[in-house]
Amino acid sequence: MPPSQLKRLKASLREQGVTGPQKSKKQKQQDRKGNNDSRVQRNAALQQIRDSFNPFEIKANNRPAKFQSFTAHPKKDAVLRPGVTKSMGEEARRATLLPEIQRRNKTGGIIDRRIGENDPTMTPEERALQRFAQEKMRKKGGASLFDLEADDDLEETALTHGGKALDLDRDDFDMEGLEGSDDESDRGVKRRRSSAGSEEDDEDQAMSDTEEQDPDKPARKKSKAEVMKEVIAKSKMHKYERQKVKEDDDDLREELDQGLQEMLSLLRGVKPPPKAEKPSMEAGMNPERLAMLQGKSREEAEREYDVRLRQMAMDKRAAPTTRTK
């Protein structure tokens, strides 16, 4: 019967030197000198004992290295620990999936977002201090910049106009301009409508008159329509000038092309060959047909045509050769 786990543990601890007989004073002094080395060795021995007692904690590679290689930096074999991996996965699921499972059958979306409300590591004093600091930062960010009822920093937030502070308690509304009758307002509207049409026609003349009367005054600012008219007129003028220059260049180029052959012949010292005359229609025509068209009448031409046709009909036709097969 194999020994129990307890006996195996005691035997392995005794073999590794972790436990054993009581040490003397001299041995204890020697152990104190090499305390760091002995501690590292002790931890390594304990880890080896743990691994040996739990063979399923370490997983070996299914396929070891096929060829043995020697390098300056040898690569250690990967140690797989399924138990550690499983525990890490459980902790991650406990942190992410567990809250979702707890809220699965609950309705309502209210989430408490107060600072440190669900943090057990914070004391009430720290929680209150952080909330106070966040509130001060929110106010400092300009949330109360346009609050007219705020008393602090009144000079910075007061409304001004023309460099003077506005008095919101005083009412400057004036009723003097509202006493006119409806008839007068209607007549004023009609008068403005009738004068609006003639303003555009007399605009140029009025502008010239004002310039003659008051030359020191600045010129009137041109309207958008006038500016666009000037731009269109200038673009048309430039386009016409470019077209005219292009036509002149084309004419000059044609003249140069016509006299280029003569100029080249003069430079080479060879006379240009005479231009070949175009062949007339009579050069390539059958002389009999030409004579017929020039001197014969229509009746003679038809008679000759009939004779030629009968001659062609009486011609001997080609016969097939005798077969030898």
Please compute the mean of the pLDDT values over residues 261-281 and round it to a whole number: 69
pLDDT at residue 247 is higher than 50: yes
Tens digit of each residue's pLDDT (9 = 90 or more) over 174-221: 555 444 545 555 555 555 555 555 555 555 555 555 555 555 556 778
Beta strands in the chain (DSSP E): 160-161, 164-165
The pLDDT of residue 153: 46
pLDDT at 154: 43
* CA–CA dist 112, 298 (Å, integer): 121
SS3 (DSSP) at 60: coil
Band the pLDDT of 276: cuts 50, 70, 90.
low
Amino acid 206: pLDDT: 52
Q: Which residue has the higher pLDDT, 110 or 193?
A: 110
When mean pLDDT is compared across 31-40, 121-130, 236-245, the lowest value belongs to: 31-40
Kindly tell me if the per-residue pLDDT of 43 is higher than 80: yes
Residues 121, 126, 128, 130, CA torsion sign: negative
Percentage of the chain surpassing pLDDT 70? Answer: 65
- Is residue 155 very low, low, confident or very high in pLDDT (cuts 50, 70, 90)? very low
Q: Note the pLDDT tens digit of each residue in 64-98.
A: 777 777 777 766 666 778 888 899 999 999 999 99
Where residue 159 falls among pLDDT bands split at 50, 70, 90? Answer: low
Q: Which residues of 265-286 are buried (b: 16+ CB within 10 A; e: fewer)?
A: eeeeeeeeeeeeeeeeeeeeee
pLDDT attached to residue 22: 76
- Residue 68 CA to residue 73 CA, distance in Å, equals 14
Per-residue pLDDT, 89? 94
